[in-house]
Structure 1
């Protein structure tokens, strides 16, 4: 899916782009409302994600004008501060479908975005299948297979394993894992994360003879390594 992101905060825009790109979407970012609206006159998008604090055009006007330019039913989500109750009311009145509260959490951003896209484009959301060697992830039913044989995993184990496979070779910090898997849980004991990682390692048999190795990164987090090329 093609997602337009309007955010004058470069750091936050980069975070959104990274999360949505890793999920397989095409992301186009804009730093101003004028740039976004100008592009929408030429080309549509499948979804709009925008920060509420845009300075060159009133955010309510951006939503209303985007709604006029985009196909009916195009999902729109905005991001605001925790104290922005008035912003939330105004945004919903202007036609936004959902909103997120700062600071952004990677997992929540991805889950809410995917849910909105599934509702808006039901015919294009069959079971997404991702394959890494002998491991196959079917995201819609949350099913995991190894060499065609189902592996019994919990919801969190499934998404923890998928997170590692989508980031092969990249060290993932505990904070990143927390935000991506334990979305709404403010505090997750270190032993809880370690237990889930251990279960994923054992259930998926992430051992050198199977081509992968899940290792701790001292004082940081974990990394999934692909062996043998």
Structure 2
């Protein structure tokens, strides 16, 4: 698979490239927003790693452009400065699937890339359909429809919806969702909050994601404090 690594620091690009190539991945490098935008349009990219602070257009602008472009399903991992929670939240709202804070472990980033790729390109041999009201999710095809009309979701949004549909009426805390869907034992809980908000917006009136005060979220419980 082809991974785009976009960062204006050549040392970061070099280290990340070596780790990803050790995992058998092909790496395309870019150093600024314009070259990155061109690569996203020109090359068949399976996942993009974008630096938030890259020269304009920055990583967040590029994320928004991908989500509104011809290949909105392309997985995106953002690289953000340590402690810049606002950047992470804005990035997730823009449509990023994951983020890694700088300074970071190149091996951790490689593992995050592998995790997102597995979710975006699963090996499935049988069709597995999950439904909830007007919402229908097909795991094998990685598609979601509302009343028969397709809805475009990112890889993480799809995984979160699949988990909620597979466990309807059961309440999960943000910590539990972070562990079950993201595979993280710790992390920024706003990641879950932002993805829930995005799912509700994309599914519209068909969503049945309820907020259970003080406990978490559930699909179809019917006692939402939203």
TM-score, normalised by the number of residues in structure 1? 0.51
Separation in 2 of the partners of 1:54 and 1:101?
14
1:37 aligns with 2:37: yes
Q: Which residue of 1 aligns with 2:166?
A: none
| Deviation (angstroms), 1:18 | 0.6
Tell me which structure has the larger Cα radius of gyration: 1
Contact 2:63-2:94 at 8 Å conserved across structures: yes
Q: Does 1:54 align with 2:61?
A: no
CA contact (8 A) 1:40 1:70 kept: no
- Tell me the alpha carbon deviations over residues 48-76 of structure 1, each in whole angstroms, 9 at most, x when there is no partner: 00111112213321111123345342210
Aligned residues: 126
**Alignment TM-score, normalising by the size of structure 2:** 0.52
Aligned to 2:28: 28
Larger mean CA deviation between 46-55 and 102-111 belongs to 102-111
CA contact (8 A) 2:30 2:36 kept: yes
> CA RMSD of the aligned region, Å?
2.0
CA contact (8 A) 1:41 1:69 kept: no
Task: Name the residue aligned to 1:8.
Answer: 8
Give the conservation status (yes or no) of the 8 Å contact 1:4–1:28. yes
Give 1:189's aligned residue.
none
Equivalents in 1 of 2:121, 2:70: separation in Å? 14
Distance in 2 (CA, whole Å) between partners of 1:51 and 1:40 is 14
Greater Cα shift, 27-36 or 102-111? 102-111
- Contact 2:66 / 2:74 at 8 angstroms: preserved in 1? no
Unaligned segments of structure 2, at least 5 residues = 125-184, 186-226
Whole-angstrom distance in 2 between the partners of 1:107 and 1:43: 25
